[in-house]
Amino acid sequence: MIIVMKKNATVEQIQAVENKLLELGFMTHPIHGEIKTVIGAVGDKRLLQTQSILIMPGVENLVPIMKPYKLVSREFKQEDTVVDVDGVLVGGSEVTIIAGPCAVENQGHFYQTAKYVKESGAKILRGGAFKPRTSPYAFQGLEEDGLKMLDQARQITGLKIITEAVDPRDVELISRYADIIQVGARNMQNFKLLQEIGLSMKPVLLKRGLSATIEEWLMAAEYIVAEGNQNIILCERGIRTFETATRNTLDISAVPIAKEFSHLPVIVDPSHSSGSWKYVNPLSKAAVAAGADGLIIEVHADPDKALCDGPQSLNPENFFNLIKELRIVAQAVGKRL
């Protein structure tokens, strides 16, 4: 349910409505717009005393939200959310580029890659410190040592950093280092992890699960917002289908559909979608043309020596050329890069 306040509603009137909703057992999520304030009320609608709320001073109307995901829906908030990552904006008129290796492996390759992606136009540096893999014998990441390397790379380049959390117990540690916490596809429905990240109030990149519907993806985002954290970036990274020519199948339609159903920004991961660096360029262009707010691309100084996901990683030269071409596509659809 959304409580729409009148244009001239006072701070005291808005607070009184919030207090009444809290008294009835609802969680409240106010959004202060330029013209009006709306208050999202999440809880058992049978407890909502509709008439008593409607007659409160400053209240204009009550609007039900029909979607199962309430706070991330367009019904709750009409205007697009722009996530501010300490001055780097995701959403709006700019296509934001996130780039870097799958994992932080060693100082030499990682700092070299960080400098390359910075020079090419990336705003955010990616790198996994905790790397859950299909095989328990594969490289699992450097953990806190990797986080320290990410922090050092941020100091060297000025790039913001993003890294993945895979265990609720690690969220507090990762929050000390990361500018954005990534939730990987395998953890999209790890609800305890989502709740812990929601409490951290850090910006979140939420990847779509391997076989998740768009509704399930948005419901996962709802878990985070329900804890008070509205700084969520949705990431389409390909879904599992019958096709074996690529690692996953990029659901390009998810970009406009997610943006229609939700106010959250949507970016695309062309690297995991394809599993091959050869297809990253065309998939990236398609994503920007479809309206994506950004891209997260795997780049490695020497992909042949990468400890994970080397085949889908661009080398610095290919990444530089891709960014040049993407600027043209972004301009064609009214965005900038």
User: Which helix (H) or strand (E) segment is 207 a member of?
Assistant: strand 204-207
Report how far residue 164's alpha carbon sits from residue 103's, in angstroms, rounded to the nearest whole number.
10
pLDDT, one tens digit per residue, over 248-300 is: 999 999 999 999 999 999 999 999 999 999 999 999 999 999 999 999 999 99
pLDDT at 40 over 90: no
Report how far residue 216's alpha carbon sits from residue 58's, in angstroms, rounded to the nearest whole number.
36
Q: What is the pLDDT of residue 243?
A: 96
Query: Which has more pLDDT, 238 or 45?
Result: 238
331 pLDDT band, cuts 50/70/90, is: very high
Q: Would you tell me the crossing angle of helices 316-332 and 107-120 to the nearest 10 degrees? A: 30
The arithmetic mean of pLDDT across residues 224-240, rounded, is 95
Distances 286 to 251, 280, 315, 330 between C-alpha atoms, Å: 11, 10, 20, 10
Q: What is the pLDDT of residue 29?
A: 87
Report how far residue 165's alpha carbon sits from residue 171's, in angstroms, rounded to the nearest whole number.
6
- Whole-number CA gyration radius for the chain: 21
SS3 330: helix
322 pLDDT band, cuts 50/70/90, is: very high
Contact between residue 68 and residue 215 where contact means Cβ atoms under 8 Å apart = yes
pLDDT at 32 over 80: yes
The arithmetic mean of pLDDT across residues 136-159, rounded, is 89
pLDDT at 139 over 80: no
Structure letter (DSSP) for residue 73: B
CA 39 from chain centre, in angstroms, equals 23
Domain positions in the chain are 2-63, 83-332
In CATH, which of 3.40.50.720, 3.10.20.600, 3.40.50.300, 3.20.20.70 is domain 83-332?
Answer: 3.20.20.70
Q: What is the pLDDT of residue 186?
A: 94
Evaluate whether 2-63 and 83-332 have a shared fold: no
64 pLDDT band, cuts 50/70/90, is: confident
pLDDT at 140 over 80: no
Q: What is the pLDDT of residue 269?
A: 98
Report how far residue 112's alpha carbon sits from residue 301's, in angstroms, rounded to the nearest whole number.
6
Pairing of strands 160-164, 124-126: parallel
Query: Which has more pLDDT, 68 or 262?
Result: 262
Topology, domain 2-63: Alpha-Beta Plaits (3.30.70)
pLDDT, one tens digit per residue, over 168-208 is: 999 999 999 999 999 999 999 999 999 999 999 999 999 99
The arithmetic mean of pLDDT across residues 80-86, rounded, is 96
pLDDT at 25 over 70: yes
SS3 203: coil
pLDDT at 133 over 70: no
pLDDT, one tens digit per residue, over 95-115 is: 999 999 999 998 888 999 999
DSSP assignment of 143-188, as one string? Answer: THHHHHHHHHHHHHH--EEEEE--SGGGHHHHHHH-SEEEE-GGGT
Q: What is the pLDDT of residue 102?
A: 93
Q: What is the pLDDT of residue 17?
A: 94
Average pLDDT, the chain: 93
Q: What is the pLDDT of residue 65?
A: 86
Report how far residue 26's alpha carbon sits from residue 23's, in angstroms, rounded to the nearest whole number.
7
pLDDT, one tens digit per residue, over 181-190 is: 999 999 999 9
Contact between residue 259 and residue 233 where contact means Cβ atoms under 8 Å apart = no
Two structure tokens written together for 181: 């916490």
Query: Which has more pLDDT, 17 or 1?
Result: 17
Amino acid at 41: A
pLDDT at 244 over 70: yes
- % of the chain beyond a pLDDT of 70: 99
